[in-house]
Amino acid sequence: MARIEIDGIGIEYELLGPAGAPAIAVTPGGRMSKDAPGVRELGEALARGGRRVLLHDRPNCGQSDLCFTGETESMMQGEALIGLIRTLNLGPTALAGGSAGSRTSLFAAAHDPEIVSHLLQWWISAGTISLMSLGNSYCCEPAVAASYGGMEAVAGLPTFAEQIARNPRNREILLAQDVDEFVATMERWAGAFVPTEGSLVPGMTADRIARLTMPALVFRGSARDIYHPDWTSERLDEMLPNSRLVDPPWTEQEFLANWAEATRTGEGHLALWPRLAEPILAFTAS
């Protein structure tokens, strides 16, 4: 593992596979770190396939620094990812991500399309219940805590517990935030999760998606997944000008069983991700 500063943000990252090989950046979902079960395993499988793999903790995730700038959180994380790719001189890089990692990858591609060779997308978050749930978890709870209890109350929230435990500097970053500015940022970030016509991906317009012309592979979602339903993957495939829609390398029964077990134990939601390696390797070979 290594650490680097990108635009003043400390970013934890790791590179797998042969130097100089075609690069792939794998970005997990939620506020999960690169160490979440399933992420490294996917990265290692891609590295065995001859790719240079970038794993990193996004700002506000894992051991990286907290950051509350940017029009939206995903936009800020996408720009940090591009900065990391550019700084590490990885060259044209395929961006692979699911759920929040999907959004980060899309914003990264929109920010600097010349450095993005391919897009790999799965678990696209959309729909009223999905987006309202995300906005509440990521933005509303911290805003309410700050409003009534100040930044000390925010530092005590479960949503930042791992980040503070793994990077004690993050508590200092939180406590240094101006309460009014922090609440205003959470209001702005939450606004991206309000479902609107013509905006499938939170904070990104259909026009911006249509300008992403690099080859894209979209894995179909599950009809039973209320957070990332099948219709969102189908819509995204239609919106991207150079996209292919394929079934995921797991059955719906396997997906539901894994999600139920991960919800019960509190980890393992991404345990099926290593199966994505084979189709990703095949698609990015061209």
Same domain for 17 and 118, yes or no, is yes
Helix axis angle for 73-87 and 100-111, nearest 10°, is 60
Among 6, 134, 25, which residue's Cα sits nearest to residue 76?
A: 6
The span from the CA of 273 to the CA of 271, in Å, is: 6
| The total number of structural domains that make up the chain | 2
Query: Which residues 6+ apart lie within 8 Å of 201 measured at CB?
Result: 102, 103, 106, 124, 125, 126, 209, 236
88 contacts 192 by C-beta, under 8 angstroms: no
Same domain for 54 and 105, yes or no, is yes
Same domain for 68 and 175, yes or no, is no
Number of continuous H segments (helices) and E segments (strands) in the chain: 12, 8
Same domain for 151 and 121, yes or no, is no
Q: How big is the chain, counted in residues?
A: 286
Q: What is the pLDDT of residues 134-190, one digit of tens each?
A: 999 999 999 999 999 999 999 999 999 999 999 999 999 999 999 999 999 999 999
Q: Domain containing 182: what range?
A: 131-191
Same domain for 25 and 115, yes or no, is yes
The span from the CA of 220 to the CA of 218, in Å, is: 6
DSSP letter at 97 equals E
Among 181, 188, 192, 194, which residue's Cα sits nearest to residue 146?
A: 181
Q: What is the pLDDT of residues 19-68, one digit of tens each?
A: 999 999 999 999 999 999 999 999 999 999 999 999 999 999 999 999 99
Same domain for 164 and 187, yes or no, is yes
Same domain for 254 and 158, yes or no, is no
Same domain for 139 and 266, yes or no, is no
> What are residue 9's DSSP bridge partners?
6
Same domain for 97 and 72, yes or no, is yes
Same domain for 50 and 121, yes or no, is yes
How far is residue 31 from each of residues 94, 198, 269, measured CA to CA in Å?
21, 26, 12
Residue 244 Cα to chain centre, angstroms: 20
Among 23, 165, 19, which residue's Cα sits nearest to residue 84?
A: 23
Residue with the two structure tokens 């925010």: 154
Same domain for 216 and 78, yes or no, is yes
pLDDT confidence band for 286 (50 / 70 / 90): confident
Mean pLDDT for the stretch of residues 90-108:
99
- Residue 196: pLDDT over 90: no
pLDDT confidence band for 199 (50 / 70 / 90): confident
Query: Which residues 6+ apart lie within 8 Å of 70 measured at CB?
Result: 76, 77, 79
Looking at residue 197, its pLDDT comes to 83
How far is residue 262 from each of residues 9, 135, 255, 266, measured CA to CA in Å?
31, 22, 10, 5
Looking at residue 17, its pLDDT comes to 99
Phi, psi of 121 (to 5 degrees): -125, 135
Last residue of one domain, picked from the residues 164, 191, 218: 191
CATH number of the domain that 57 lies in? 3.40.50.1820
Same domain for 73 and 112, yes or no, is yes
